[in-house]
C-alpha cells in the first residue's frame, strides 16, 4: 500500500526514527524499510513532519497485525491518546466501560482510560474525568522531542494542539525573549527554550506552574525559563516592553488581556493570538481588538490567519500571528 514515508540516509535512520517517535508521527501499521542506502519510515501525518526531513510516497508492507480495540469490540472506538492514557468522550456509561476494557486488553501501550465527566471549567480551564481503567490521571506525554508530565485532573492540556504548537515553535530564534501569558505546563515555552529563547511562562494555576518547573528540568531548559504563578496582569509591570514574542492561548477571553500584551511587547514583537469565533468571520473580531489595543503606538501587521481546528458546529479555533512594530 502507498503511504507517506520520511526518507533519510541509513546512517541517520535511528536518530530520525527516534525524533519521529517522540512526535508520535510513526505509522505503526507499516514496516520501516531499507533500500539502496535509504531508510523509509512510514508516517501518520506528512504535514506535521519537520520541514528539514524529506517525505516521499511509496509502497510499504503492512505489519503483522496486533490486537486492536476495534477487533475486540467489533466496531471502531473513538479516543485520543495522551502518554499512556486514552481519553474518551462517551455519554453512554456502558459503552464507555466496554471501550475502556477493550483498550487495556488490546496490544496498545495504554494503561489508563479516562472519560470526560464535565466541560472545561472556570479560570484554570480544567475538566473533571472519570477513571474507567488504571490508577489515576497523571501521565507523561511526548511531543516533538519534548516531554510533558501533567495531571489532567489538575491542569489544562490538549494533545490536539501539537501540530499548531510546533508551527509556532519553528518560528522561534536563538536568543529571543518569549512570554507565554497562559503557559499551562509549558507546551509552548519548553520547545521555545529548546530553540534557545529566554522564556517567561505565567499561569494562575499553581499546579500548572509546578508541572511547568518540573517539565523545564525534564527537558534540560530550566536555566532559560522563569515560571510565575500569578494573574498575568499582576506580572506586567516587571516585564514592560520586554517581549519579542508573546503567546496568548486563552481563547474566549484573550481580548480582555490585550492591554497587558501590548504593555509586554517590545519595539518589534510577534503576538500569537488564539481565538474561538463563528465561521462567518473567524479572524475579524481578534484583528479589530488587537488594532484597537495596539494602535496608534504600534503598526499592526497580520502575518498569518490560521484555522487551528473546528471547535463546535460553525465555530472555529483560530490563530492570528501579528507583528507589532513601535512607531517613531
Ligand atoms: N498554553 C497552555 C496550553 O496550550 O496547553 C495552557 C492554555 S489553557 C487554554 C489557559 C491557561 O491560562 C490555563 O492554564 C489557566 O490556568 C491560565 N489562566 C487563565 N487566566 C489566567 C490569568 N488571568 N493569568 C494567568 N493565567 C491564566
Candidates 293, 232, 241, 231; CA nearest to 264 is 241
Q: Compute the distance from residue 127 Cα to the ligand 1 centre, in Å.
A: 13
CA distance 247 to 67: 41
CA distance 143 to 166: 9
At residue 241, the pLDDT reads 98
Q: Along the chain (328 residues), what's the average pLDDT of each consecutive run of 10 residues? A: 92 89 88 92 91 92 83 90 95 95 92 95 95 94 95 95 96 98 98 98 98 98 98 98 98 96 98 97 98 95 96 95 93
The residue whose CA has the least distance to atom 13 of ligand 1 is 124
Q: Compute the distance from residue 121 Cα to the ligand 1 centre, in Å.
A: 12
Please state whether 175 falls in left (phi above 0), alpha (psi between -120 and 50) or beta.
left
At residue 251, the pLDDT reads 94
Q: Compute the distance from residue 9 Cα to the ligand 1 centre, in Å.
A: 42
Q: Compute the distance from residue 182 Cα to the ligand 1 centre, in Å.
A: 4
Burial of 51 (0-12, 13-18, 19+ CB in 10 A): exposed
At residue 28, the pLDDT reads 83
pLDDT in tens, 120-140: 999 999 999 999 999 899 999
CA distance 251 to 156: 13
pTM: 0.82
pLDDT in tens, 13-53: 888 998 898 888 999 888 899 999 999 999 998 988 988 99
CB 208 within 8 A of CB 155: yes
Q: Compute the distance from residue 126 Cα to the ligand 1 centre, in Å.
A: 10
At residue 328, the pLDDT reads 73
In sequence order, the β-bridge partners of residue 179 are: 200, 246
Pocket (CB within 6 angstroms of ligand 1): 123-125, 156-157, 161, 182-184, 187-188, 202-205, 208, 231-232, 249-250
Burial of 164 (0-12, 13-18, 19+ CB in 10 A): buried
CB 129 within 8 A of CB 114: yes
Task: Tell which one of 124, 203, 210, 275 to mutate to probe ligand 1, the residue whose CB is within 8 A of the most ligand atoms.
Answer: 203
Residue keyed to cell 511562562: 201
CB 192 within 8 A of CB 163: no
Torsional sign, CA 30, 34, 35, 40: positive
Supply the DSSP symbol for 26. B
Please state whether 279 falls in left (phi above 0), alpha (psi between -120 and 50) or beta.
alpha
Amino acid at each position: 500500500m502507498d503511504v507517506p514515508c520520511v526518507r533519510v540516509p541509513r546512517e541517520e535512520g535511528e536518530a530520525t526514527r527516534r525524533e519521529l517517535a517522540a512526535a508520535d508521527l510513526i505509522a505503526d501499521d507499516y514496516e520501516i524499510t531499507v533500500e539502496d542506502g535509504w531508510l523509509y519510515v512510514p508516517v501518520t501525518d506528512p504535514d506535521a513532519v519537520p520541514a528539514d526531513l524529506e517525505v516521499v510516497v511509496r509502497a510499504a508492507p503492512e505489519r503483522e497485525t496486533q490486537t486492536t480495540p476495534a477487533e475486540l469490540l467489533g466496531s471502531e472506538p473513538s479516543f485520543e491518546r495522551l502518554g499512556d492514557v486514552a481519553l474518551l468522550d462517551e455519554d453512554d456509561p456502558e459503552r464507555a466501560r466496554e471501550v475502556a476494557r477493550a483498550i487495556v486488553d488490546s496490544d496498545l501501550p495504554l494503561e489508563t482510560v479516562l472519560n470526560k465527566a464535565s466541560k472545561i471549567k472556570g479560570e484554570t480551564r480544567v475538566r473533571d474525568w472519570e477513571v474507567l481503567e488504571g490508577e489515576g490521571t497523571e501521565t507523561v506525554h511526548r511531543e516533538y522531542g519534548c516531554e510533558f508530565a501533567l495531571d489532567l485532573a489538575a491542569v489544562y492540556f490538549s494533545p490536539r494542539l501539537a501540530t499548531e504548537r510546533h508551527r509556532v515553535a519553528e518560528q522561534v530564534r536563538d536568543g529571543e525573549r518569549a512570554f507565554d501569558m497562559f503557559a499551562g505546563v509549558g507546551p509552548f515555552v519548553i520547545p521555545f527554550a529548546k530553540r534557545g529563547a529566554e522564556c517567561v511562562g505565567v499561569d494562575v494555576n499553581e499546579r500548572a506552574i509546578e508541572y511547568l518547573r518540573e517539565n523545564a528540568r525534564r527537558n534540560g531548559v530550566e536555566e532559560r525559563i522563569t515560571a510565575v504563578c500569578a494573574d498575568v496582569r499582576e506580572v506586567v509591570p516587571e516585564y514592560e516592553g520586554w517581549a519579542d514574542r508573546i503567546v496568548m492561548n486563552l481563547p474566549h477571553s484573550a481580548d480582555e488581556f490585550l492591554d497587558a500584551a501590548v504593555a509586554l511587547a517590545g519595539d518589534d514583537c510577534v503576538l500569537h493570538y488564539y481565538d474561538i469565533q463563528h465561521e462567518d468571520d473567524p479572524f475579524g473580531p481578534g484583528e479589530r481588538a488587537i488594532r484597537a489595543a495596539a494602535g496608534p503606538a504600534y503598526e499592526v501587521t497580520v502575518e498569518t490567519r490560521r484555522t487551528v481546528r473546528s471547535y463546535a458546529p460553525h465555530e472555529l479555533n483560530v490563530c492570528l500571528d501579528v507583528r507589532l512594530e513601535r512607531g517613531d
